[in-house]
Structure 1
Amino acid sequence: MIPLTLMEQFQYIIVGAGSAGAALAGRLAGAGKSVLLLEAGGAGRHPWVNIPLGYGKVFHDARFNWKYSTEPEPELNDRAIYWPRGKVLGGSSAINAMVWVRGHPDDYAEWGAAAPGWGWADVAPVFRRIERWSRGACAHRGGDGPLSVTDMTGAMHPLTRAYVAAAAQAGIPTNTDYNGAAMEGAGLYQISTAGGRRASTAQAYLLAARKLKNLRIETGAMATRILMEGRRATGIEYIKRGKAHSAHAQEVILCGGAINSPQLLMLSGIGPAGHLRETDIDVVHDAPHVGRNLMDHLGSDHLFRTRTPSLNQVLRPWWGKALAGLQYVAAQRGPLAMSLNQAGGFIRLAAGDGPPDTQLYFSPLSYSSAPTGKRPLMSPDPFPAVRIGFNPCKPTSTGSITLRSSDPLAPPVMRGGYLATEHDRALMIAGTREVRRIASMPALKGVIEAELDPGPDCASDDEILDFARREAWTVFHQCGTCRMGQEAATSVVDPQLRVHGIGGLRVADASIFPTIPTGNTNAPAVMVGERAFDLICQG
């Protein structure tokens, strides 16, 4: 083994500078705590990281992206599904589509039932504390928080407005703030940008905090093992520039996300005992739920050719790219300052009352010539087209994260477990029919020339489900693999985010979600980082 070359002591070591980790590090450092923040990726100063639509460029860029893939998925025709995850300061908040969704209050009723202190009344003030909402503070929104959330109403493409009008004609009410008093309805998506630039947690929390002497940020630092004394965590081993280092702290906090946090726990001997022994890892603590309960949203897109120009006609020709670039450089406006998904909504398709069970997405941009899962946003289709997609909000299928070997540099084994239940398959069929119903409304019917994918020949339930098996893919919302709960027999961390059975060790990221939220998971992950700060300060 390479000899350890660094021995240092901190109050807190945070592993992972992503959506939750950067927020937690910034708050702890601001409170005067000595913090070592370890990030396997780099600083992320490249322009494509900061330009909102530039995330299409970093979608497959190993400099900023772990570029994970699942094992062949049995219910998706044995396709391996690509899982991009942020490997950079800001984590996935630095490479995602920036759509800001808190989730439904019922989501947090589920969390509060699993872990007291995580109900809606507990987390709603934390969301307000995070936000710098462009419309200003109100009873539901925060106006002076560190992370900017922008209302893009004035910048929407005309086809996006046609989608919202069509949804209203389909009986879906228009909602001008789904993060406000009520979530249900269709409307324009809010995105985490500031002045036309991406507002990642690195920008929101670390830009000012990194000037503090009590915060040390180590990029290019790959954590390989949690250092233990008996059943207490005392530090971290990590590799940087090919050399092994160690650092010690009063408390270690894992913020590596739903893939890397359970991986590091298992590499350190904390996980399912049988699996650890199979992987030749000494068992420190048998924690059977580490890596289990993986949840994700599976989405399906529908491609419609339009009679009127879409963003394809702006971003396809070289001169259109040049004009969009000049517009962005001059004023940080235009297509490059926006997200791919300009609108969407939250609706209920199952019978009976209850919260939304389906999320909708609308994009006035298409890239059907690209391989499934790729996003050449600056080289869209040569014809005018839009995409309308959806995903079930509360899938009941679950997957897992396990170790491939005891090598900390080997990616873990990832299984999404998609479409394993009748509930999930039924909603994929219902979602397709709802997308078509919206597209048939007068506001869109007048501009849609034809449905290209899956096409009108895909009509029966079996044909729709076959299309989902061939084409559906992740919406990048992996979570739940270090589930929070009161009992060690059914969870990994307690309501204070402390790992059951281990002292001096917490997990604070999307892996602790007891259930998957309704909507995009970035805002809830940032909230977990902020909430972890509160819990640490409470002692």
Structure 2
Amino acid sequence: MEKKSTYDYIVVGTGPAGAVIAKTLTDDMRTSVLVLESGGNHDRDKPIKDSTFALELEESFFPNYFWQGEGVPQEELDERAFEWTTGRLSGGGSSINGEQYVRPTSAVLRKWERLLGPLWSPDKAIRRFKALENYNGETTDINAHGYRGRINIRQAPETPTPMAHKLTTAIERATGYPTILDYNDPNTPMGPFTRWQLYQQPDGRRESSSTAFLSRDIMTATGRGVNNRKLTVKFRTTVLRILFSGKRAIGVEYLKDGKCCYAYSRKKVIISAGINSPQLLMLSGIGPAKMLKKAGIPVIFDNPNVGQRLKNHTLNFAVFATNSQDRPLPPLDPNALYTGGAFLPDPSGIDPDERAVQLVGIGSDEELTIAILYLRPKSNGTIRIQSKDPLNIVLADEGFLSNPDDMEAVKRIYRTYIKDIAIELEQIDSSYRLVSPTFDIIDDDDRLEEFIKENFDHNHHQQGFLRMAPLSEGGVVNRKGKVHGVQDLIVADASLVPYTVDGNTSSAAYLIGYTIAKQLSKRKKKQRSHPESGEE
């Protein structure tokens, strides 16, 4: 092996987990890390850094910054197909998402802890979030946030608009949940609010894993670590498969400038490729043996759990006419993006202390749209490879509404929350009227179901398809991200989520990456016979 192509660690991907791991592992200025990113660094491109583009990026810039792909037609949605994609650029999904910072609640993390042990307890997760974030906003508990981390979080807008206040008041009256100031405070996880917490720098520009952890104080524009940091980031470099010696991961094969290249690791290979992580495992011989053999791939470890248990939150909408005098955002803060919102339990009354519904206000000069996410779907999907060709897109079946309970849950949200919010909004201001769906559609079960299918949309909250759990419980990796059945291979991204998060997924990816990075750093210290320090 050539010395120049060998590193202590190889990290695949610069999304929330990969970038955190790369920076954390090289903080000692002794550990060498190679990071391979399939896209380029576009942090300074206006559509990426300017937050006002966030809600139109996929529609307007799909060829520029995204993986090109489509999932399989969805049987329960009249065979409609949706994009199967994420960001193909430095920062991965964090560079193209809607910028909402939503931590998993303690209710979800307690489930993680019961399955995986104290490493994933709510208390430890909160400590790690505080270490990661630099919170710029108000809160009911200053101890709920961190103020010295690298991820800038901006609560916005500073002065919410009348439209946001009217929506929040209507939700409060309709649901009985009082307005909250800080939904990421573990003590106030549910209720309506006028201000979202966004991945933004204080001036409103996007904060991604790239701007936070691969910034100019960490590496040069060409991907070299600064101040003797042993970090190398190679952009426009597509990893094809993991290399093994027996059952030990020793490196990767990748495509760069039309040539096949190889890089080798002394310690571990870490896969943080998001929705592309299962394909890499399967192409490398880890997955369902029958599928791998059919594709002509030598089996390294037979694990039927790879690519299973794919979860995604449902996404639907309700549209209201508004008062022409009401603006959705303050004129001086278009980066605030959203016009209020709420986290609520299932309207059925089941598990009243757990989040099940996310409402997002998206205003315009003439309309107020409420995006409706059901956060506890029972439907599962799958990710399968078609062949051993790494450039052949996977068959991603998200299985939307394949469990009929999910359709019933979404119908309950319309019948209870949306209908009651509409009534209260109109009482607050008669200009506000529900225009889609209309009340007669909500009251007609068959028409409402048809509306939900036609109105259904797709988000980027894919999770759980490389579950962090014991092998016997559907696991692909253990509690520290180590891939079952092989050595020196780790996965760290939102694909590990063992129980569906009750909000946007990017914070969970940061948490997973940082937790695994700290575990690896502790191991390095032990190997050097230094005293153990820091959090578990």
Q: Which residue of 2 aligns with 1:435?
A: 418
Q: What amino acid is aligned across from residue 94 of structure 2 in structure 1?
A: S
In the TM superposition, residue 342 of structure 1 has moved relative to its aligned partner by 4.4
TM-score, with normalisation over the residues of structure 2?
0.89
Distance 2:500 2:355 in 1: 13
Is 1:177 the counterpart of 2:182 in the alignment? yes
- Structure 1 residues 75 and 412, CA gap change in structure 2 (3 angstroms): same
Q: Is the 8 A contact 2:11 2:272 kept in 1?
A: yes
Q: Which residue of 1 aligns with 2:468?
A: 484
In the TM superposition, residue 345 of structure 1 has moved relative to its aligned partner by 2.7
Q: Which residue of 2 aligns with 1:371?
A: none
User: In the alignment, which of 486, 495, 512 is matched to residue 528 of structure 1?
Assistant: 512
In the TM superposition, residue 67 of structure 1 has moved relative to its aligned partner by 3.9
In the TM superposition, residue 461 of structure 1 has moved relative to its aligned partner by 2.2
**1:319-364 Cα deviation digits (max 9, x unpaired):** xxxxx9xx8xxxxx521x2324643333331224331211111111
Q: Is the 8 A contact 1:163 1:443 kept in 2?
A: no
Distance 2:371 2:419 in 1: 10
Q: What amino acid is aligned across from residue 439 of structure 2 in structure 1?
A: P
- Structure 1 residues 155 and 49, CA gap change in structure 2 (3 angstroms): farther
Distance 2:256 2:425 in 1: 59
- Structure 1 residues 84 and 455, CA gap change in structure 2 (3 angstroms): farther
In the TM superposition, residue 305 of structure 1 has moved relative to its aligned partner by 1.7
In the TM superposition, residue 230 of structure 1 has moved relative to its aligned partner by 0.4
Q: Which residue of 2 aligns with 1:51?
A: 50
Q: Is the 8 A contact 2:311 2:377 kept in 1?
A: yes
Q: Which residue of 2 aligns with 1:416?
A: 398
Q: Which residue of 2 aligns with 1:209?
A: 218
Q: Which residue of 2 aligns with 1:224?
A: 240
Q: Is the 8 A contact 1:300 1:471 kept in 2?
A: yes
Instruction: State the SS of the aligned residue for 1:517.
Output: coil
- Structure 1 residues 215 and 272, CA gap change in structure 2 (3 angstroms): same
Q: Which residue of 2 aligns with 1:262?
A: 278
In the TM superposition, residue 132 of structure 1 has moved relative to its aligned partner by 0.5
Distance 1:95 1:24 in 2: 20
Instruction: State the SS of the aligned residue for 2:64.
Output: coil
Q: What amino acid is aligned across from residue 292 of structure 1 in structure 2?
A: Q
Q: What amino acid is aligned across from residue 129 of structure 2 in structure 1?
A: F
1:5-16 equivalences in 2 (<5 Å): 8-16=5-13
Distance 2:386 2:504 in 1: 29
**1:274-327 Cα deviation digits (max 9, x unpaired):** 111122212111111111110100111011122325658x9xxxxxxxxx9xx8
In the TM superposition, residue 401 of structure 1 has moved relative to its aligned partner by 0.8
Instruction: State the SS of the aligned residue for 2:127.
Output: helix
1:112-511 equivalences in 2 (<5 Å): 112-116=113-117, 117-135=119-137, 138-170=142-174, 171-180=176-185, 181-187=187-193, 188-194=195-201, 195-207=203-215, 208-210=217-219, 211-212=225-226, 213-249=229-265, 250-257=267-274, 259-309=275-325, 333-335=332-334, 337-340=335-338, 342-352=340-350, 353-365=352-364, 384-433=366-415, 434-442=417-425, 446-458=429-441, 459-487=443-471, 490-511=474-495
Identity in percent = 29
Is 1:18 the counterpart of 2:22 in the alignment? no
Moved more, 98-107 or 135-144: 135-144
How many matched pairs?
500
Distance 1:303 1:430 in 2: 17
**1:177-213 Cα deviation digits (max 9, x unpaired):** 0101220111121111012100101111110221434
In the TM superposition, residue 404 of structure 1 has moved relative to its aligned partner by 2.2
Q: Which residue of 2 aligns with 1:105?
A: 106
Distance 2:479 2:108 in 1: 16
Q: What amino acid is aligned across from residue 146 of structure 1 in structure 2?
A: R
In the TM superposition, residue 66 of structure 1 has moved relative to its aligned partner by 1.2
Distance 1:114 1:447 in 2: 50
Distance 2:473 2:373 in 1: 31
Distance 2:26 2:430 in 1: 53
Q: What amino acid is aligned across from residue 113 of structure 1 in structure 2?
A: R
Q: What amino acid is aligned across from residue 209 of structure 1 in structure 2?
A: I
Distance 1:267 1:155 in 2: 51
- Structure 1 residues 507 and 453, CA gap change in structure 2 (3 angstroms): same
Q: What amino acid is aligned across from residue 416 of structure 1 in structure 2?
A: E
Distance 2:353 2:260 in 1: 52
- Structure 1 residues 229 and 310, CA gap change in structure 2 (3 angstroms): farther
Distance 1:77 1:6 in 2: 55
In the TM superposition, residue 416 of structure 1 has moved relative to its aligned partner by 0.7
Distance 2:325 2:382 in 1: 43
Distance 1:429 1:443 in 2: 21
- Structure 1 residues 151 and 113, CA gap change in structure 2 (3 angstroms): same
User: In the alignment, which of 486, 497, 501 is matched to residue 517 of structure 1?
Assistant: 501
In the TM superposition, residue 61 of structure 1 has moved relative to its aligned partner by 2.3
Higher relative contact order (CA 8 A, sep 6+): 1
Q: What amino acid is aligned across from residue 183 of structure 2 in structure 1?
A: Y
Distance 1:108 1:68 in 2: 32
Distance 1:270 1:280 in 2: 13
Q: What amino acid is aligned across from residue 339 of structure 1 in structure 2?
A: L
- Structure 1 residues 68 and 113, CA gap change in structure 2 (3 angstroms): farther
Q: What amino acid is aligned across from residue 162 of structure 1 in structure 2?
A: K
Q: What amino acid is aligned across from residue 24 of structure 1 in structure 2?
A: I
Is 1:538 the counterpart of 2:535 in the alignment? no
In the TM superposition, residue 156 of structure 1 has moved relative to its aligned partner by 3.0
Q: Which residue of 1 aligns with 2:529?
A: none
Q: What amino acid is aligned across from residue 32 of structure 2 in structure 1?
A: S
Q: Is the 8 A contact 1:191 1:339 kept in 2?
A: no
Instruction: State the SS of the aligned residue for 1:526.
Output: helix
Moved more, 202-211 or 477-486: 202-211
Instruction: State the SS of the aligned residue for 2:143.
Output: coil
In the TM superposition, residue 449 of structure 1 has moved relative to its aligned partner by 4.7
Q: Is the 8 A contact 1:99 1:190 kept in 2?
A: yes
**1:260-279 Cα deviation digits (max 9, x unpaired):** 00010001111111111122
**1:19-44 Cα deviation digits (max 9, x unpaired):** 11111111112233211111101101
In the TM superposition, residue 83 of structure 1 has moved relative to its aligned partner by 3.7
In the TM superposition, residue 162 of structure 1 has moved relative to its aligned partner by 1.1
Distance 1:444 1:193 in 2: 35
In the TM superposition, residue 112 of structure 1 has moved relative to its aligned partner by 1.3
- Structure 1 residues 157 and 409, CA gap change in structure 2 (3 angstroms): farther
In the TM superposition, residue 223 of structure 1 has moved relative to its aligned partner by 0.3
